[in-house]
Amino acid sequence: MLVTILGSGGFLGQKLAARLVEGGQAGRRSVTGLTLFDLHTPRPPAGAAFPIRCIAGDLTDPVALAAAIPPGTAVVVHLAAVVSAAAEADLDLGLRVNVRGTHGVLSACRAVGGRPRMVFASSVASFSGGQAAVLADDARQLPGNSYGAQKAMAELLLQDASRRGLIDTVSLRLPTVIVRPGRPNKAASSFVSAILREPLLGLPASLPVPEDFAVWICSPRRAVDWLLQAMTMATAPLGLDRGINPPGRRVTVGEMLAALETVAGPAARALVTAAPDPAIAAIMGGWPAAFTAERARRLGFAEQDDMEAILRAFIEDDLAATRAEREAG
């Protein structure tokens, strides 16, 4: 099957591409070609047994999208987005990329025909409820931020296109993914990775929320597992509802820092200092900190490992490359 990953310059897109190259397939379907698309030309993984095209372009440019999603494309994984704090700061940019860009992706998929599978990376930010919430699978999406609203709008657009038989959508409402490799980004949730990643690099980190602040999280390894499953899973059981809340893990900041101390020692924990940021706390404080995720479990989506396992996986997978990137400037 031909696969396209939009937003493949980001860390999840890079990890998904590497897993496809490593295994040569998603589920029981063999990959015969891969297109990587982002605003800047993505880096291809080495060792592929199939052709890889790397394309730079704007998500709102129909010509660029037509090149990224050629005839015969079977699966499109849509990871491209303006992230939470950036979408809140610039409404027009968020609408252009997250809503109109997704409409453009839908149009490109319609043009190739054959009802391609669309795996859409939605977000827990499309819900509200706050720290005390434990949301069931049928909870109403009522976002309290522009990013979440844009993700919910895109979900509805893609769900209706699936209902009409134009595409075959699976929308994964991803938890906050930690530990992110590389450098901090403009997501409101960026600090959740930073308070773990920076101390592992021997660098200080600021904590903008109290230690009892809870977050619904998953690891990069598990997020890629879920994306791979969504690429080839049977969608008939989903019916009209194409949104899935994967089984992440609720952890408090204090629990994250305790795991950091266990894995890396008290000196690493000491590098994290309180620096309250009401704007970040307001955005993330509206996101639910837990989901029941019963539907995802019935569909076979894997559970998330504990915090110590997440930290050890980051050390194994990404710490050396992240340190090299930082040292290179």
Q: What are phi and psi of 280, to 5 degrees?
A: -65, -45
The residue behind tokens 């995720």 is 293
Q: What are phi and psi of 52, to 5 degrees?
A: -125, 125
69 is catalytic: no
Rounded CA-CA distance 274/119 in Å is 38
Q: What are phi and psi of 37, to 5 degrees?
A: -130, 135
Cα separation values, 100 from 62, 80, 289, Å = 11, 12, 29
DSSP state of 237: G
- Report which secondary-structure segment, H or E, holds 190: helix 190-200
Rounded CA-CA distance 226/208 in Å is 30
Q: Record the tokens describing residue 46, joined without a space.
A: 């080495």
Please pick, among 11, 37, 127, 147, the residue that the annotation labels catalytic.
147
Q: Which residues are known catalytic residues?
A: 147
